[in-house]
Amino acid sequence: MYKDLTFDDDGYLIDELRDLGYDLEDDDLSDLDFRDPDYGDYAEDAPDIILDVPYVPTDEKIIYAMLDLAQVTSEDVLYDLGCGDGRIVVAAALERNTRGVGIDIDPMRITEAIEYAGHTGVEYLTRFFEGDLLEADFSDATVVTLYLLDLVNLELRPRLLDELRPGTRIISHAFDMGDWKPDQRQNCGSINVYKWIVPAKVAGLWEWQTTQGDTYRVELKQKYQRVSGQAWINGQPALLDSALLQADLLELIIKKNTSSRAERFLMQHKGRELLAAEGDLQATPAVKIFQP
C-alpha cells in the first residue's frame, strides 16, 4: 500500500519539508536555501576539506600486485581507506568478485567512485562513503588497502591492530608502518607494496595439560607478530625453542632440556584460550592465567 505523496509547486515532497522543520503554513518559502545543482555554486558552499593525503591514483599494475599480494577472493570484504575514484574497490569486484567498501573524505571522489562502479556494473558489490578514514568503522574488513603516507599509516596503526580481526591482510602501496615490519614485501619496479597480517594478541601466561599427564606453562611476550618467552614443564624451567605467530595460529616448540626431544604444539587463539589445532599431544586448551 503506497502512502499518498504531496508535492509543492517546485516538486519537493511536502512531508520532507515538514521533517526539515519548515512552517508550511507560511506561503513565503523564499528563505529556503536549496542547493543550486550547479557545481560552481556547490564548490563555493562546500566546507573546506582538509586532506591528510593528496589525491594520487594507484596505477593499474600496482592494483593487480596489491590484489595478488593479499590473495583477495570472493570471500573477502575489502576496504580501501582513502579510496579516491574507487579503482581498487572496483578492480577487486571486477576481477575477484569481492565485496568492497571505499571511504574518502572528498565528496567529489565519492561521486566519481559511485559513477565508476555503476559504469563497470559492480555497484551491487561495492559501497562508497564520504568520511574520515581516521574515524571510520572498518572492523568488518578482511582486507584493507592503503595508499596514504607514513605518518597517516602510523596514526592508523593502533586501530588496525585493535579493531581488525586476526588474519586480516593489510596492503599498503609505497608506505610502511614504522617498527611493525611487514610479513611480505613485493617490489614492483621502483615501488614497494607491503603486506601485514593482523596478529592475535597472545601475550600472557598460559597453561595446559598433555595427554601424557604433563603440565606445560609458557609466558609469552609479543611485539606485533613477533613472540618470545619462557617455558616450564611440571613447574621446572624448560626451553622455548621457537614461537611463531601468524594470524590466530601459534606454533610453539618446547624441550625439557637441550638433549631431549622437541615437542611441537600448534594452537589456535580463540577468546581467552589456545585450542589444539593439530596433533593429539595437547589434552586441554591452554588457558590464560595472567594477562600482562
Ligand X SMILES: C[S@@+](CC[C@H](N)C(=O)[O-])C[C@H]1O[C@@H](n2cnc3c(N)ncnc32)[C@H](O)[C@@H]1O
**112 lies in the binding site for ligand X (CB under 6 A):** no
99 binds ligand X (CB under 6 A): no
C-alpha cell belonging to residue 17: 519539508
Asked if residue 32 binds ligand X (CB under 6 A), the reply is no
Of 51, 151, 283, 289, the residue at the interface with ligand X (CB under 6 A) is 51
Burial class, 98, CB count within 10 angstroms (exposed 0-12 / middle 13-18 / buried 19+): buried
Q: Is 167 in the site for ligand X (CB under 6 A)?
A: no
Q: Which of 240, 247, 289, 242 is nearest to 268 (CA)?
A: 247
36 near ligand X (CB under 6 A): no
CB contact burial 110-124 (16+ within 10 A = b; e otherwise): bebbbebbeeeebbe
Interface with ligand X includes 125 (CB under 6 A)?
no
Among 23-31, 47-55, 200-208, 217-225, the segment contacting ligand X (CB under 6 A): 47-55
**23: buried, middle or exposed (CB in 10 Å: 19+, 13-18, 0-12)?**
exposed
Going by C-alpha positions, the residue among 69, 73, 78 that lies closest to residue 103 is 78
Residue 286 burial (CB count, 10 A): 26
Among 79, 93, 100, 109, binds ligand X (CB under 6 A): 109
Does position 53 bind ligand X by CB under 6 A? Answer: yes
# residues near ligand X by CB under 6 A = 23
Which range, of 101-109, 121-129, 162-170, 246-254, touches ligand X by CB under 6 A?
101-109
Residues that bind ligand X (CB under 6 A): 51-53, 55-58, 80, 82-84, 87-88, 103-106, 109, 132-134, 147, 173
